[in-house]
Structure 1
Amino acid sequence: MTVRPGIDLPDARGRTGLDQVGRDLTGNPDVIVRDVELLATAWHVLRRTTYDYRRGDGQWTSEQRETYDRGDGATVLLYDPERETVLFTRQFRYPVYVNGHPDGMFVETAAGLLDGDDPAAAIRREASEELGVAIGELEPVFVVWTSPGSVTERIHCFAAPYSAASRVGAGGGLADEGEDIAAVELPFAQALAQIETGEIADAKTIMLLQWAALRGPFSAAVSGHHAVRHGTRA
């Protein structure tokens, strides 16, 4: 009998039964999972699932999908309401570099995987490790899937105020995990403009900046600026 890491034998992260994920799904009567194959298991898990799917016209088809399971994550937009600034990370991201980004140095909101923590605890940990910020008040904003065609990850998105007093550590990330993270502080208006120029191209960061402008901490300032530009009162 073949002993398979991640199925019968613990993988590098001590996991077994990784081929069982999804077999017990019952929430959609038009989907019947037939088989789950474990294609790869390293830090994250790649599976191929075969399922029957009932189309809108009533016909059943057999489908296969590959899913990349890296766990769920959390991110936070850190903003200073007094100075109207936002605080980001800047680090090398190989996946964007290999797919057309000029140098792979990516500006984004502080983020990380939950790794067994609840989302709020996880993002407090990440903000401390990456930017040296001790988060006080934390506001849940939304939960999103950013690549639903292949990646299972849900991202819990938060916002939180910061100030000079809350930057209590050096940040920089964890060197033993290969992290080399710099802090980037920008005026909020400049950050918004960098969406248009492509200097900020990260999906979660763009969504949180747009939220901050439309409904979040800078909505009044953006509305007032819009009114002045068009010769009306805010």
Structure 2
Amino acid sequence: MTAVGVPGVDVPDARGRTGLDRAGRDLTGNPDVVVRDVEVLSSSWYVLRRTTFDHRRRDGRWSTEQRETHDRGNGATVLLYDVARRTVLLTRQFRFPAYVNGSPDGMLVETAAGLLDDQDPETAIRREAEEELGVVVGELTRVFDVSTSPGSVTERVACFAGSYTPADRVSAGGGLADEGEDIEVLELDVDEALARVDDGRIADAKTILLLQWAVLRGPFRDRQSRAGR
């Protein structure tokens, strides 16, 4: 009988990858966690794994647990702002996962973002800003990195901010049509963007975090303080 290989493990999957079951097996940073087994459940595009590990609890008892992790790679996002005009540049596009989970039309307003695709975070977000927003980005500040949904998703997102002017907009943006992207560019007054957070029209976590940073500690901080006096 001929042995049948497992795509993504011992034979290439649709993206030519093997060894996807090795992720996590060599972790040693936490002596209270010992990885015993990693199974690849799906590797059609992103990778779904089921990991079995021993975990020493706070009372000293060991338990054997399983967790499924969704690995879509790491990403980057950027909030572009114009302090002089008090505007921010955002995107609006259809997101099926949001649509199937309660968003009325699946159209989300977000900061420009994308997966790293083997690039460093700053290079990747400069690429995304030009593709999605039509902006050639100048100096960037790396504000923070966040885990998007650490209970099940491995993704870590590098969050940047940078200034722009109308002259920096070199194209209409809109994303890459050959990748199925259909992105509307929105230029909003920062106070209007915050109002949309308050009433739920902006519900994307990374976008909310960066908008709040912008008025609490970032480029709009001084003006926001004067407005509250």
TM class, shorter-length: over 0.9
Per-residue CA shift, 1:169-221, capped at 9, x if unaligned?
22111112111001011000111111110010000000000000110000011
Per-residue CA shift, 1:112-152, capped at 9, x if unaligned?
00000000000000001111100001111000102000000
Question: Equivalent residues in 2 for 1:66-77 (5 A)?
Answer: 66-77=68-79
Instruction: Say what the alpha-carbon RMSD is for the aligned residues.
Output: 0.6
Q: Alpha-carbon deviation of 1:8? A: 1.1
- Unmatched tracts of structure 1, length 5 or more: 228-234
Equivalent residue, structure 2, for 1:17: 19
> What SS class does the counterpart of residue 185 from structure 2 fall into?
strand
Equivalent residue, structure 2, for 1:207: 209
Distance 1:176 1:57 in 2: 54
Equivalent residue, structure 2, for 1:59: 61
> What SS class does the counterpart of residue 180 from structure 1 fall into?
coil
Q: Alpha-carbon deviation of 1:4? A: 1.3
Equivalent residue, structure 2, for 1:102: 104
> What SS class does the counterpart of residue 224 from structure 1 fall into?
helix
Distance 2:184 2:164 in 1: 17
Q: Alpha-carbon deviation of 1:42? A: 1.2
Question: Equivalent residues in 2 for 1:155-234 (5 A)?
Answer: 155-227=157-229
Q: Alpha-carbon deviation of 1:77? A: 0.2
TM-score by length of 2: 0.98
- Of 64, 73, 84 in structure 2, the residue corresponding to residue 82 of structure 1 is 84
Q: Alpha-carbon deviation of 1:2? A: 1.9
TM-score by length of 1: 0.96
Aligned length: 227
Which amino acid in structure 2 is aligned with residue 36 of structure 1? V
Provide the identity percentage.
Answer: 69
Equivalent residue, structure 2, for 1:5: 7
> What SS class does the counterpart of residue 228 from structure 2 fall into?
helix
Distance 2:100 2:164 in 1: 34
Equivalent residue, structure 1, for 2:44: 42
Distance 1:168 1:199 in 2: 28
- 1:152 matched to 2:154? The reply is yes
> What SS class does the counterpart of residue 207 from structure 1 fall into?
helix
Distance 1:12 1:217 in 2: 44
- 1:32 matched to 2:34? The reply is yes
Which amino acid in structure 1 is aligned with residue 207 of structure 2? T
Q: Which moved more, 1:173-182 or 1:56-65?
A: 173-182
